Chains A and B, each alone.
Chain A
């Protein structure tokens, strides 16, 4: 900020402070935490997708070696509380009661039914086999459209319907744009498309784990969670244990991707059991348990109708979603599609827009936030249909986008969905990406392969995305009926020796906040990067915060930190003026120190000032002897990263295999604190987006058993499947926060999926293929070719 360019930390590709202990295995995962007297919990889970529980008998398990206790749902009924959904998106939304342990009915395979507590984990798992449960199977409904049909089996009989809610946004009604009916009437081109967002599993590396220590008078919970603060609030609110008697610690957490943005049955069960037996209890799940019990992502049917003129101008867009909730509502399950509702218009000047989403219950694991949450779905659909429009009109897909996107001089721009995009430069990012990619050369090669009838065809996919992140302005969340705000808190403590302790309300689980926050503080206060300690993930040291998800940590929490640093600087300036015997107005913070304007050698460093404050021998009259500050930032607006991703794939038309030949992306995430971290986020995000495009899918059989219950069947790509990514950036600072930052955690995932699938479809258009359902496996590609061949015959 105010240090000289040479000394600036912000913008430096600093290696991460976090990595030494991660690489050397010196981590403290929840599973590694041990407390005296700790017992181990194992959970018996339903083998049925839908059944009435007529009897649960744990008596034989109680007689198993090393077993201390065993409980049914009924045993814990008065203690276990309920799992709350924090986002009732409509007033008439169906929100069924969701208990951690099922008591009378199970509604998906893997739902917890009973627990065993033993002196060691193996004994607990062994004893599960001795529990007797009688189930009376009930009809199962898995398909969303069948679930909505008359006479369908009901997931929740008492609700009388499988429909959870219908939520509508209409630009004509909202006053943010025109009427889609008029757009339909005047359309020269009408495209109707159905895209299917397959069900995904957030495959974080560290399985979920929770340890509850009832302690003496207060309860400590270690959990592999993204949301220690929200977890504390919810545990208190749903179990009646006073909030100040609960301490939540998120120690090292090995990835989340939204999958640990959750209040889980397992956390609530461990909390209840530890209280019931007054002993510390730990539970760590197996990968199968992750697959069946941790929430899933996506699983949405998208019906789009796009209206346009023959010159490529889009005149209207209708979106109708059918979104799978699964069997229950998780923390933000129903709201996930709404995060996409404002993004289907994307970077385009679409004059009329209507969005409708219907949430549906099925006998499957619940869905909830997964990296991007609603925005990848929206971006996929609009970017796919823009490519289809280009194909329909015989236009280059980049040209069609150019004719519709918001030009850089038009910012700030109010969209048809009512959001104000503060900044962006789609032209610059696209131009740069096309150059890096070699767009024209690849198009020439594509033409050559098409002409020669090469069995391996080349396809080029375009994705010009934006997203809304930095979640979020509290008032906007309130307007959407979300149960909490979106502010973030930070605290800065300057220690007597001039070292700085920072307390953040964000809860990193791989993002590198310790490093990035240190860089921000170093510039803000003129202290060395190494002199900053960042404390997080413990409600006792960091009592205030709203945690990490939705690419919010930097754009909200980082800004709060800068604000807290500003307060420290303001006070330090007063102390410096006092020590330098001049007016505070004559002191400036420059080159990392407080200097007398015009006499830069007369200066005090923060360390000198800290010592003066510590001794308090000679402070300005009435000044409190500390150099600490708190700040809370509640943004006025979302931030809007954007970028252009280009993917070239080789499609073997004989085997259907897709190989990514070239992937280039230019992202604009605003001001960059640490380019290395940004690049890592883009690489990981793109890999995950490719995972959805080509590899990943959670599959159920007709009885509701998850067939992809391990990482052998649920195929997550590894480095060996992925190409080298060519990444670059443009930097258009956000105007809605003082750091100019936007957020990067989800951008790659949002952008990559449509770029890859557009490329696959582009390769196959000469064969008459205009869609390949995700994931575009070799067989799906082959089938698409077969169907096109049959249709042509």
Chain B
């Protein structure tokens, strides 16, 4: 806000007007699709479930789709929460290990974790489909969560390692001098200190799991176990090949709302998480 005086002068306003128009237009391009979908999901349109007047007909059609939207929502919530929980535990513990301990094989393990980034999703999903079938996890939401967790590991562990390394070692050493074990030093002293990192990791894991399409597409065949993105995508071609655009719009809104809300609430945290240097150098 320090620049205010320069902008409020008449000359400042004149110079800045093209900038405002240009950037405002770009902002409209970014926001328009979201606003349009939200409005037209409740607007009347022939051939959808909302023919006359405004209302939530499309949402009711979505709710009645096959097993019912609640089943798919619940499936998505289960997969997302399981993925977030596993990602948080794994990245917290191994981030601690990588940042604070020396052990043989440490660098090898860390490189292996980063190696996940180099391997295409499809390359791993096809063998995983076979392997999960062999251990009785075919068609399983837990199986999907396991797979999604693996793909969250490179970013999450990298992030947590950096978070731990940015905390002065004296903090946990002081706790250990006071008689804490390495675990209680982690739990009581370090976890509060790495909270911003944990929030970022958790948010990314949630968004990735909630939105993932490819893993459930391959791993889930039973239509009662489908997650929401898969269900909304399948819904398009149901009634004799005629696409129900209204219900699709409603589905997009249901999919997008939790993500956008979380993003807006936690924006400050995660933009700071990025800015704190995770991606520098």
Are chains A and B native binding partners rather than an unrelated pairing? no
Tell me the B residues contacting A by CB distance below 8 Å. Answer: none
